[in-house]
Structure 1
Amino acid sequence: MADQGTTIGDNIKALRNMRKMSRPRLAEAISISESYLKKIENGERSVTSTIATRIAQTLKVGVDRIYGQPYYNGAEADEGVQAVIPDLRRVLWTYDSPEDLSRPPRPFDVLVSEMETISQLRQDGKYVQLAPLLPSLITELTHVALAAPAGEVQEQAYWYLARGYRAANSLAHKLGHPDLSMTAIERVRWAASRSGDPYMDVVAGYLLLGALMRQGLWTAANKLMVELEVQIRSIAAGRFNDESRAMLGSIVLKRLAADARQGRLENVLRATEEAEEIAAASNGRDVLAYETTFGPSNIRIHEVHALLNIGDAKTALRTAGGFIPPTDLPGERRSHHYIDLAAAQLAVGDRDASLNSLLEARRIAPAHTRFHPTVRATAATLVRLDRAQREAVTGFARWASVS
């Protein structure tokens, strides 16, 4: 758990000392210069997810320890969203034997309507509004699913329950609880297998893939990507439509991100081309399928993110150009682009642009921005480098709970 004012650099230094590893030795192990690592530890340089993962693996800790998650400082004092974690853990642990309800579940159509609301809140990164609704809704849907006779109604209940567990995964991951996030993914797989929808099984695999990538488990992640692509092609059976192409394209974008974090630039370029070909078959439109958007906009966002993680901030910025994510793209995706943009702008020394991008990310999705480790790293570096201590910089840092 991070204390207010503790930076990622502080965390790395403390963990390195705990492991009795010198700075030169750690720098060599993760293939960066000692001077660059020193700047990271001193808060003069931000940290890409690639470097954070390498450091975590070398120091034999979870990536959440590098980021200092979960955060219980200023942001939590204002938002209170972490308070839902005990209830969420309880419903995930009692998935097949839920606690008794004080009254019967609400009508199924009411539960469906609330799940649609939660799904939209998840996509827009509105965790504060989402969190208090989720445990009770999952519990009610669980009772419905377990009590319904085998058939369409039961499958529908499990289908919506899988979406509820997906929201739980997002919430746990964003709030910095990786073990709870993995439990939620296992629950998605459990419910998906009972939903009668083979694409929901793909969704479960997609979420697992993201978890593997966050921990840098590349052998397992690369194997799963291949399996998921084969699975999608088998389900489509040669009759692809916008939805199935979006599912396939989303896996290709995961491959693009994985290759970037492994430093495989040529593979990144090939994956980008493949994703563009898939999007072109849907007339170059952004398509929302199973709560995941695929199309030209998300390809651009992933390409910028990939170049940033490879360490080529200048090319990432050239690729971004004047791109503005369309307003019909989910808020979390749009804010993520500006978070990446801010990190890239800071890397090339454009601090004013970096701050403006952070402010835009906050405008689009405040909670997503406030709890994002990259935002905290970027804001902390901006504060360290801003000798004039301008209120615009320190004010954002206070809001993000890093100063």
Structure 2
Amino acid sequence: MPQSIEEHTGARIADYRKLRQLTQTALAQRAFLARSTIAKVERGLAPATPSVVAAVARVLQVDVAVLNGQPYISELQQDHLDRLISPLSEALDLYDLGPDPHITPRLIGQVEDDVKALCAGASATEYKDIGSKLPGLLGELTTMVSLLPPSEEYRLAASSLSWCYWVAYEFTYRVGYHDLASIALERMGWMAEQAQDPLLLAIRLNKRSSMLLRRGNNQMSLRVIARGHDLIDQVERPEGVDALAVSGSLHLASAIAAAQAKDADAVSGYMGLARETAEKIGRDVPEVYWSSFGLTNVRHFDVATNVELGELGEAVKLSKKLHFPETHPRMRVGRYYIEMARAYAQMGRAEPAERFLARARRVAPQQARYHPLMRETIGALVRRQRRAPESLSSLAAWVGM
């Protein structure tokens, strides 16, 4: 069934707050938020941002996914993605079962090409191909790794399998199956160790930090990122493009963690390190370890961190100077449009907010359809108007409201 316009994150926060016998003031004090913020979010007049949801979830002792209302079963069924969850879940359980006698693995080069295509699909938020092709690749590579002796071919197979687990993480996390995403992330780390690839392990820690941020654990997230930098120091060429791209991505992750903690000085420091790293590379490198790092991404995070800090005017000013090249990953572009829609909604500017929501849908439709902040922003805009324009009503229906 479609989600009612009143079934939003703020309404669920209100329900759990009452169950915990807390007033809005008490919840705000324990979550280190303003009572007015709680009031607006509960009424659906302001988007429930990730940092607000994480802070409130910690006080209410409930998972963030529960407050966000994920996963979105009705929309998954419409997109024929619901039927992909079960086979993917089963494929994630193959990791310790040894070779499948019914599978004859292909040459590693052929498999690597398929894995690269899946990684490109994940970066483009093309979830249907991921769900239909990933389980088979997981089975084939699990069998290959089980059969090969220690060798260069074994490390290549382990690396490909680790990237498959990365794709599994991206897919399940984006459509709201966070328990499966956590499992995929653990499997990714295990195979990255077999591949003896410190950069792949650092990428996995970057994703782990995102999971921690989702729960509002800023300090642990920063500790995890620091461990990622330790791993980068272990590579043969720490000043090579690959290592710099992964390192730069970790600096950006640190900046977001600091922004959620409202530490503007720390944000400035981390963004400075990211900018220095991007300048060393001198160009965008979207496919290097799928980090999508470069000067464009640094400018994007300049905007994103200002939105997170509440410096909305500065975020809008910086956004005027940001232009994405054609090759920039749609996942990043779509995320930027959602962030800008949130900023304009918080500023009470409905028209540009709706315009950015429409852009997010156009550039990365499946990401936008399942992003909780997309729904929250649409809902806040609808509830603020006596009569929503047809374009906004259409967006609300599309995301299942």
Instruction: Classify the TM-score, shorter chain.
Output: over 0.9
**Matched ranges for 1:1-400 at <5 A:** 3-5=3-5, 6-73=7-74, 75-97=75-97, 100=100, 102-236=102-236, 240-286=239-285, 288-400=287-399
In 2, Cα distance between equivalents of 1:34 and 1:47 = 14
Residue identity matched to 1:363: R
Is the 1:174–1:371 contact (alpha carbons within 8 Å) kept by the matching residues of 2? yes
Percent of residue pairs bearing the same amino acid type: 25
Aligned counterparts of 1:154 and 1:168: Cα–Cα separation in 2:
21
Structure 1: distance between partners of 2:303 and 2:249: 16
* Alignment check: 8 A CA contact 1:105 1:144 kept: yes
- For the 8 Å contact 2:202–2:229, the answer to whether it is kept is no
Deviation of the 1:194 alpha carbon? 0.8
The answer to whether the Cα contact below 8 Å between 2:8 and 2:376 also exists between their aligned partners in 1 is yes
- Higher deviation after alignment, 5-14 or 227-236: 227-236
C-alpha separation between the residues in 2 aligned to 1:203 and 1:330? 17
CA distance in 2, matches of 1:246, 1:105: 32
1:291-349 per-residue CA deviation (whole Å, 9 max, x = no partner) reads 11111111122222212122222222122124232221111011100010110011111
Distance of 2:49 and 2:302 partners within structure 1: 15
On the 8 A contact 1:48/1:308 being kept in 2, the answer is no
Q: Distance in 1 between matches of 2:350 and 2:241?
A: 40
SS in 1 for 2:129: helix
**What runs of 5+ residues in structure 1 fail to find an aligned partner?**
none
Following superposition, the deviation at residue 136 of structure 1 comes to 1.4
Shift of 1:9: 1.2
Please give the alpha-carbon distance, in whole angstroms, between the structure 2 residues aligned to 1:287 and 1:79. 27
Counterpart Cα distance in 2 of 1:234 and 1:2: 50
Shift of 1:99: 7.9
Q: Write the letter of the residue equivalent to 2:78.
A: D
Aligned partner of 1:317: which letter? V
Give the SS at the match of 1:234.
coil
Shift of 1:283: 2.1
| Distance in 1, Cα, partners of 2:128 & 2:385 | 31
Deviation at residue 37 of structure 1 after TM alignment = 1.4
Q: Point out the more displaced range, 228-237 or 360-369.
A: 228-237
Separation of aligned partners in 2, 1:177 and 1:2? 19
Q: In 2, distance between residues paired with 1:367 and 1:287?
A: 20
**Cα offsets for 1:45-86 (capped at 9, x unmatched):** 11221111101111111111121111112x223202132222
Q: Which moved more, 1:181-190 or 1:214-223?
A: 214-223
Q: Aligned to 2:239, what secondary structure does the other structure show? A: coil
Q: Deviations over 1:124-176 (max 9, x none)?
A: 11112211111111111110111112211111111100000000011111111
Q: 1:120 to 1:97 in 2, by over 3 A?
A: same
Contact persistence 1:98–1:139 (CA under 8 A)? no
Change (3 A) 1:2 1:300: farther
Q: Is the 8 A contact 1:246 1:288 kept in 2?
A: no
Contact 1:2–1:68 under 8 Å retained in 2: no
Aligned CA distance change for structure 1 residues 72 and 147 (closer, same or farther; 3 Å) = same
User: Cα–Cα, structure 1 residues 299 and 279, in superposed 2: closer, same or farther, change >3 Å?
Assistant: same
Task: Give the drift of 1:203.
Answer: 2.0
Deviation of the 1:197 alpha carbon: 2.3
Secondary structure of 2:292's partner?
Answer: strand
**Contact conserved, 1:198 with 1:235, CA < 8 A, in 2?**
yes
The two structures, once aligned, show a CA RMSD in angstroms of 1.9
Native 8 Å contact 2:2 2:400 kept in 1: no
Contact 1:379/1:397 (<8 A) preserved: yes
TM-score by length of 2: 0.95
Amino acid at match of 2:225: M
Instruction: Indicate how the Cα distance of structure 1 residues 22 and 98 shifts in structure 2: closer, same or farther if over 3 A, else same.
Output: farther
1:184-209 per-position Cα deviation (integer Å, ceiling 9, x unaligned): 11100111111132222222222222
Q: How many residues of Structure 1 are paired with residues of Structure 2 in the alignment? A: 400
CA drift of 1:4 comes to 4.6
Report the AA paired with residue 208 of structure 1: R
Letter in 1 for 2:44: G
Shift of 1:98: 5.6
Please give the alpha-carbon distance, in whole angstroms, between the structure 1 residues aligned to 2:95 and 2:186.
10
Report if aligned partners of 1:284, 1:296 keep a CA contact under 8 Å in 2.
yes
Q: CA deviation at 1:285?
A: 3.9
TM-score after normalising by structure 1 = 0.94
Rounded to whole Å, the distance in 1 between the matches of 2:225 and 2:273 is 14
